[in-house]
Every structure is written in C-alpha cells, then in structure tokens.
Structure 1
Amino acid sequence: DEYFNIGADTAFADVDILATGRVVTEVSEDFDRYWASESAYPFERIVRRANAEQGRAELEISDNDRSQTLARYRRDLEQSDLFEAIKNNRIQWQHVKTKLVSDDPAKALDRARDKPQISDKLDEALGSPEKEIYLVSPYFVPTKSGTEAIADLKKQGVNITVLTNSLQATDVAAVHSGYAKYRKPLLKAGVDLYELKAIHAVPKTKDRGLTGSSATSLHAKTFIIDQQRVFIGSFNLDPRSARLNTEMGVVIESPPLAQDMQRRLVENTPVYAYKVTLGNRDKLQWQDPEDGTVSKKEPEAGFWKRITVKILSILPIEGLL
C-alpha cells in the first residue's frame, strides 16, 4: 500500500506523471478534506451580488451540445502524446515508494500553528541532501536564514542548482524583488543560478513542462535530491508557501525518474535560461543562452520595471511574498 506505479512521458524538461495506486486515493481524499473544511467558503459568501442560479442556468447545455463536447474532448485526448504513449505501450511503468505531503486546511485560518507545516513534512520526506540539489521554483525567495542554510550545505560539499524566473518572465514582480536581494549571497556561496528567459525570445519548441500554464513564466515546482528523490507539487520556496498558503505535493522515491528529470534539466536549462554570475567587483551579469552575450542589468526588462523591483526590495514585505 505504500507504493504506486508511475508512468513517465518526458516532455521538454519536466515529466508528465501518470499515477495509479493508493496515492491517487490519498490525493483525492485530501482535496475532499479541503472542500469540507472551514477554510472553504460558499460562492455566495464571496460574490454576494452574483445570481448563482442564473449562472448555473447559463452554463446548462443541451444533450446534443454535451455529446459534441465529450466527442471533441475524446478526440483531443486520443491525439495527445500521453494517449499515444499509453496506446503504444511506450510508458515505462515503475513501482515506487511515495509520500503525500500537505498542509492542514486550518492553516488558511491561522489555526494550525501547533501542527506540522508542509515545509517540516518535506524536510522529513526528502531527507538531508548528501551530494546535490536541483531546485525549480517560479517564486524563489530563500530569505536570510534559507540563504545561510544553502551556504552551509555548499560548505558540506553539496552542489546546488536553482532555476527560477527572470524579471521579464515572472508574472509577480513583487516576489522577484524578494528574490533579487539574495542573488549575490547565493552566487558567492557557490550556487549555480539560472533565470528562465521570457518565452518570446526562446527558440520555438514544444514546451509543456518547464513553463507550466503561462505563456511566459516558469510554473513547475520540482525539487530533486541526490538524483534519488523528487518532489512535485504546489510548494514554492518562499515565505508565503511556508507560512500563509496551504500547499500539497508528492515525494517520489525513484532514482531512475530523478536522474531522468535532472538530466533533462541539465541539458535544457542552459538553452532556455540566463546563467547568472558575478563579474568584476561582484557585479551581477546575465549570459544570454542564445548568443552568449552578457548583460549587466536585468535582461529584456524595461527601466520602470527594474526600478519598481528595486523599490519593492527595500520595503519590509518579504514575509508576504
């Protein structure tokens, strides 16, 4: 019961996970737990002027329309890469150990202070890294204590790579301001730091994993530990995920999956992301993955966007990011 099968149809740099087994039930039950909790509010309490009954009526469709919609959905599904992989038996199924980690819904009401948070559960499930960590987080705000912890790991010989959004690629500039102040300390500690380039400047490719649902932003949240264990979920490495948001995800113990994911990231990240380094006098610089040119200011981002982030980085808002 502790195990489940996963089928991995690898895409750009991420992996589509098809799961069966007990963890599927656990995830479903966790959603039901949130749905039935006091943290979930009826629609009418949030949008008081809305006419819910009228809205439901407007959404009603005829049996014929419903049949056409289902037929179209089935046709699209059958033409998908994942369906083809299943049909042609190209999915490499693995029997692996997993662990669902999630916050208590009461966290949203500030009533779960005495209960383990997802960050504590992740720490227990992922274990202490011994050789390397590969972090993919669209909203990366390591905080002072987190940066110090990362620096300590580097001193212990743990290689650390971080992939996050560039200023032009991010959809939340305020969060980027919380990250920007830690770039130099991270680089001085020896962290390999990459920032995803806005998609309009990236060579066109079939991209379903690295940039998630947005046309320009990184959205995947993935941590790979020692090429042995993988976390895939909603948790970002920022104060908001740790203290305010309710988050969930799955830790998968699978060296083949972890190694495959990391290999793809190692191969593709330098092609799609700026390499951030320190130049003369410890000045930040960004190397363009396309032509190798080096910029000494946030690439692609306009003047006012850079100024806005600079001002936000001074404000005491880190705990909210």
Structure 2
Amino acid sequence: MARAAGVAGAALGRAAAPDLLAAVETWQAWLRNEKRASAHTLVAYTADLDGFLAFLAGHLGQAPGLADLAALRAADFRAWLAARARRGLAKSSTARALSTVRGFFRWTARQGVMENAVLPTVRTPKLDRPVPKALTAADARDAVESVGELSDEPWIALRDTAVLLLLYGAGLRISEALELTVREAPKPGQDGLTVLGKGRKQRQVPLLPAIGEAVAAYRAACPWPLPEEGALFRARRGGPLSPREVQRRVQLLRGRLGLPASATPHALRHSFATHLLGAGGDLRAIQELLGHASLSTTQRYTAVDSRRLLDVYAAAHPRARD
C-alpha cells in the first residue's frame, strides 16, 4: 500500500506545486490510516485527483498550488468535465472522479488548508440508466419449460423449473428465491407469498397455481432432508443451492434455445415486469410487486415497452413500411 501511495505521489509531483503536493500526501495518509481505504481504493482516488490536477496544469498554464484551487471558478470545473467528455470517458467514470475531487476539497476545508465555495454548485453528470433487458414472452416461457431438460436427475429438473417459475412467475430476485426456507415454501393452492427483499423490506406477491405445484413436486422428489427452517432449494450434494448454479443453468439454456446473451436469471424478473406492463399492468402495482423503493426505478420498464411498441408499429403499419 505504501508503494502505491508513493508511486501516486511521484506522478502528482509533475502536476502540482509543492504546497499542493504536500496536502495531497497528507490526504493520502488520512485515507490510508483514518478511513482505512484499501490499496485499490487509494490508487483509484489518487488517479482521479492526478487527472484533475494534470488538466489544471494545462488549463492554467502552470502546476497548480493551493491558492489556484481556491480561486477556481465553476467554469474551470465545467471545462474539466467537458474535456473528459471529449475524450469519450464514461459518465460513470467522470462522476466518480468528480466525487473524488469533491472529497479532497472537503478534506482541505476541514483541515483549514484551502476552501473553494463554488465546487458544491457544480452538477454531477447525469448517468444514463440502463434499460432492463427483458426476454420475449415466448423466450421466457421456453426457458421455464425447457430448463428441466438440462438434467438427467428428475429432482434437479423439478428444482430448476420451480426456481425459474419464481423468477418469471412471481418476479423474485434470484437471492429472494434461494433464501426461501422450507417453512416459507409456496404450497399448492396458495395465492400469495411474503418475500423479504432488499433492506429487509417485506412485500406480498401473488402466486400462479403452477408455482405452488412446481415447488410441491420438487419437494416430493428431493432426496435430501428438508427441515422447516432449512433452505428450500438444495444443490446436488444437499447444501443450499447457489446463485452461480442457477446462472449456469440459464447459460446452458442460451445455447440450447438460441436465447440472447442478455438472458440471465435476473432477466426473467425483468421479463415479469415488462410483460405485466405490456398487458396493461399499473406501474404502481408493479413497483409493489418488485419491491422497488422508488417509482423511478420501475419507470425504466416503460422504456422497454415503448421500444417494443415501436418495433411492432414499424413491422405492422402499412405506412411505416413505405
């Protein structure tokens, strides 16, 4: 770790006046000793600050010192952000770099070393939120119906079918499905399930009849003891089933069914939400079913459905094909 800090400090020496370099080295020591930052984090933060100071050296025409940083205007910070954009750097990378610079400026202010009043007014670049990648209804159905064909052991085939049904049929996260205990297992005729999601927040999800039936079939065939408080879904040797094993199953399905690379266990949850929305489901209700804390997270699915509608329009409307 000390070697990483030393290398970073040497690099900064080319783009910082002595007083600023001394402040940076003290900041690095604070990160290392007080904040207990890892070597990886320390190198990443130093690289972010190094890039900012290197830009300032060219922007100001000299290696910047503490007085130069205190005198920076909002336009100077925006010029740095614009330079990163011109270089094609990802917005997420720039947002992290700006966070690092802000952290350094907050530290210098607390230490009484240097303060800049305009930096807090500089807005973080708005990140592009990825659009959820859902499967088509036919692909999602094929995945659930075909996963059992991947195993020559009947109980494992039944287990995999039950797991994927919970993901696509009830919108569970893979962790939520695999954390179910035997006591919590859906039963035939049960029309709802209490799920413990992120932040230990409980929610109620409705159950398709097929889910309770699939879980019951798996339990009846499972060769391992299933105590009430134990994990419902078991691996081949009897331990709790891991998310990685479910991911491997879906990966095999991609090759067998010709599914896109975006077909993952989590894509089945995305498909649950997208298909409900496409069938006229209420956005607020879907938010509750998914356990999203914010409606804005659920609203990403409207982009998926709008894109699907545009594709249908382009393929079907007579004038769209002119």
Normalising TM by the smaller chain, what interval?
A: under 0.3
Point out the structure with the larger helix share.
2
Normalised to the residue count of structure 2, the TM-score between the two structures is 0.24
Q: Which has the higher contact order (CA 8 A, sep 6+)?
A: 1
Normalised to the residue count of structure 1, the TM-score between the two structures is 0.24
Point out the structure with the larger strand share.
1
